[in-house]
Amino acid sequence: MDLPLDGGCHCGALRYRISAAPVDSGYCHCGICQRTTGAPVTAWASVPAAGFSMINGQESVYKSSAWGERHFCGTCGAQILYQETNNPADVSINVATLDDPAALPPRSHIYTDSQIAWLDLGDDLPRHGGAQPDT
């Protein structure tokens, strides 16, 4: 993977840069991701917060749970990232907001206990009913 990786929201008001290698990536099936994105699953990649920078615009922040917040474009609504308030050392970007989403393929599925029954992703990636065992 060649760094940096750039991305942004749908309308272009927000642009960001990733300058550090991701520490993890995957599909999240949790109900909060489903509701905040309107999608049955979210592809994400975690990177060190120090390796993430907003290079254009100012994102809006929504505290989506007692433990996390979502950063999104206040104009078009595109969700850019998720950050745990108790572990701000990493940010999890929504891979689809990258200019080249293929650069960060998923490594596993998390929160499959909340997976929508009709969704069938026929890959052989590891699946976890909740968070990954090492998180």
pLDDT tens-digit series, residues 51-104: 999 999 999 999 999 999 999 999 999 999 999 998 889 999 999 999 999 999
The full set of domains in the chain, from first to last, is 5-24+42-106 (2.170.150.70)
- Model confidence at 131: pLDDT above 90: no
Q: What is the pLDDT of residues 6-15, one digit of tens each?
A: 999 999 999 9
Among left, alpha and beta (phi > 0; psi -120 to 50; other), residue 111 is left
- Chain center to CA of 37: 10
- Chain center to CA of 52: 12
pLDDT grade for 135, boundaries at 50, 70 and 90: very low
Report the relative pairing of strands 68-72 and 79-84 from DSSP bridges: antiparallel
Look at residue 86 in the predicted model and tell me its pLDDT: 86
Look at residue 68 in the predicted model and tell me its pLDDT: 93
Q: Which two tokens stand for residue 22?
A: 């991701």
Q: What is the pLDDT of residues 38-64, one digit of tens each?
A: 999 999 999 999 999 999 999 999 999
Look at residue 134 in the predicted model and tell me its pLDDT: 54
- Model confidence at 105: pLDDT above 70: yes
Look at residue 42 in the predicted model and tell me its pLDDT: 96
Q: Which two tokens stand for residue 133?
A: 């065992």
Among left, alpha and beta (phi > 0; psi -120 to 50; other), residue 24 is beta
Mean pLDDT of the region 105-122: 96
